[in-house]
A = this chain, B = another copy of it.
Amino acid sequence: MKPYKFTLTALFIYLAGLLLGGLVGYHIGVAKSRRPRSPQEFRKYLFQKLDNCLDLSTDQKKKLDCILDENFKDGIMMMREVKPKILAIMQKEHNQIEAILTPEQKKNFKVFIAQRMQKFNRAFSEETPRCDRRH
């Protein structure tokens, strides 16, 4: 094979790999990120992001940990107020949608609701924060 033909073939093969990898990687990235974070996962993410962004000392990390925990608790208390209201809206919406569906569609809708509720329960789950100190 002549060198230029080899280079062209190699380039084509590389681009084909790049394209397929890009598409697969993109869809994995989207699927992973669309899974909602639980409040505790969000708290950990926030701590990590602030540490990366601010390059915190050991002492600052301890203080940040407690600041986030205090506000996490406030957030959980607010979530407890809001959760039943959102659930009521969703329940009403589900009933209204179900009323316009055929029996066959209702089966698929049940699966849809189960998946939606799984995401909702993750996003609104209650977990215990790590620190009790108040600042």
If A17-B18, A28-B26, A112-B50 touch, whether A89 touches B78 (CB-CB below 8 Å) is yes
Interface size for A (C-beta < 8 A) is 59
Query: Is A96 among interface residues, defined by CB-CB distance under 8 A?
Result: yes
- Residues 15-48 of A at the B interface (beta carbon under 8 Å): 15-34
- Residues 76-135 of A at the B interface (beta carbon under 8 Å): 78, 82, 85-86, 89-90, 92-93, 96-97, 100-101, 105, 108-109, 111-112, 135
Query: Is A53 among interface residues, defined by CB-CB distance under 8 A?
Result: yes
List the 8 shortest-distance A-B pairs measured between CB atoms, nearest first: A29-B29, A17-B17, A21-B21, A25-B25, A33-B33, A22-B25, A21-B22, A25-B26
